[in-house]
Amino acid sequence: MKKLIIVLIIAALAGGGWYYYKQSSQNAEPAMQTRQDKGVQKVKRRSIQLSITAAGDISPAEQVSVIPETSGRIKALLVDIGDNVKKGDVLVTLDDETLLKERDTQTTEIEGSRLQVERDKRSYDRAQQLFDKGLLSTAEYESALATYQISTNNLVRSEKSLAQIDERLSKTQILAPFDCTVLTRPVSVGQAVSGSDGASGGTECLTVADLNQMIIDAHINQADVTRMKLGQEVNIQVEAVTGLKLTGVVERIAPQATLKNNIKGFSCRILLKNPDERVRPGMTANISIPIALADNVLTVPLSAVFTEGGERFVYIKKGDNWEQRTVKIGVADFSFVEIQDGLNEDEIVALEPPSMELVAESTNNQKGQFPGAPGGGAGRGNRGPGR
């Protein structure tokens, strides 16, 4: 009886151990498969767009410093920061009291000169008649003529002086050069300012700009600028305005490189095609310039493509093993690369080089040799299509 009980206990223990082993094996296989799936990916179709990205500052296309042409003291400031004005509107007026007094004096002088010219003209006409009849000497005739010419010259000189005063008076009103918005106003009423004709170049009274036309000044890396051209479309996002997407066009590319933040590149001017009223000068914009597009093409992750000996290859899943296969690549972005030849859709590629004992001979490499591995040895190579 005791022997029977012992046999039953041993059988129960053996059965339990076998059941536990089967359950552990079944649970381990999916876990192992999951770990393996993390290092592989299927060849899929997708669209790839290669773009040049950069950041730049937004500024008006037209911005002007308003400086008076003549020196004087500010009498009135008719605009303030943020005001919109039309071309020809008066922005600033200078004190013109002294000039107005000079004008009144000059006007009075001109009236006296005209009366003198009329008197001298009558005297000259009488002298002309008497001289023609032989009743006046040559000396007296010439004296009357000279007196008339002198008074005429004085009148002309006075009229020119009046015209100069009028011109100076016109410069006491500073007008808007175009339809614009006032950006800055660094002066105050009563402040003395110098004109642009002075040695200092003049005092800036206002800064105005046309905010209906905005540009972005971007610094493009020298490695990317060769792929750009005038007229290219640009996608724009403004950091300060969430969700706002604008478009622009490449308007100008500098012919000479410059250094900015120790990076050699080229200044690029981009004109916004659809400016938004929320966009203001000084904001930062992120630009993207599409330069290549591959639509609905076979792709693999960048990490799946390796390079050795100038050739690109991938590892293809073949049952429990891997096959190294040469591929031809096309457009690539920061995540995926186009496969132009060498792969089929839904094939599985490795994202990391597999163990060499699991790599079978390649079907598209002669004698089973892998690129860059003389004598048939499998070389892992460098990852990435360009490295």
Q: What are the residue ranges of CATH 2.40.50.100 in the chain?
A: 68-95+172-204
| DSSP label at residue 189 | T
Write down the pLDDT at residue 3.
Answer: 53
Count of other CB atoms within 10 angstroms of residue 240? 13
Q: Which of 232, 225, 193, 226 minimizes the C-alpha distance to 92?
A: 193
* 153 or 51, greater pLDDT: 153
- 361 pLDDT band, cuts 50/70/90, is low
Q: What are the residue ranges of CATH 1.10.287 in the chain?
A: 97-170
pLDDT digits (tens, 9 = 90+) for 299-346: 999 889 999 888 899 999 888 889 999 999 888 877 888 898 988 988
Q: How far apart are CA 196 and CA 69, in angstroms?
A: 5
CB 297, CB 47: distance < 8 Å: yes
| DSSP label at residue 239 | T
Q: What is the mean pLDDT of the chain?
A: 83
Tokens of 182: 């006032």
pLDDT digits (tens, 9 = 90+) for 230-260: 998 999 999 899 888 899 999 999 999 999 8
Q: What are the residue ranges of CATH 2.40.420.20 in the chain?
A: 40-48+295-383
Burial of 362 (0-12, 13-18, 19+ CB in 10 A): buried
Write down the pLDDT at residue 51.
Answer: 82
40-48+295-383 is a CATH 2.40.100.10 domain: no
Q: What is the pTM assigned to this prediction?
A: 0.60
Q: What are the residue ranges of CATH 2.40.30.170 in the chain?
A: 53-60+213-292
Angle at 251 between CA 248 and CA 254, to 5 degrees: 130
Write down the pLDDT at residue 36.
Answer: 44
DSSP, residue by residue, 13-58:
HHHHHHHHHHHHHHHHHHHHHHHHHTTEEE-EEEEEEEEEEEEEEE
Indicate the CATH number for domain 97-170. Answer: 1.10.287
pLDDT digits (tens, 9 = 90+) for 169-181: 988 999 999 999 9
* 285 or 13, greater pLDDT: 285
Q: How far is CA 352 from CA 31, 152, 316, 381, in A?
A: 19, 102, 11, 11
What share of the chain has pLDDT > 90, as a percent?
A: 47
Topology (CATH level 3) of domain 68-95+172-204: OB fold (Dihydrolipoamide Acetyltransferase, E2P) (2.40.50)
Sign of the alpha-carbon torsion through 31, 32, 33, 36: positive
- 118 pLDDT band, cuts 50/70/90, is very high
Indicate the CATH number for domain 53-60+213-292. Answer: 2.40.30.170
Write down the pLDDT at residue 152.
Answer: 94
Write down the pLDDT at residue 15.
Answer: 55
* 142 or 13, greater pLDDT: 142
Query: What is the C-alpha R_g of the chain?
Result: 45
Question: How far out from the chain centre does Cα 122 lie?
Answer: 74
Overall average pLDDT of the 49-67 stretch: 89
- 225 pLDDT band, cuts 50/70/90, is confident
Is residue 365 scored above 70 in pLDDT?
no
Write down the pLDDT at residue 277.
Answer: 86
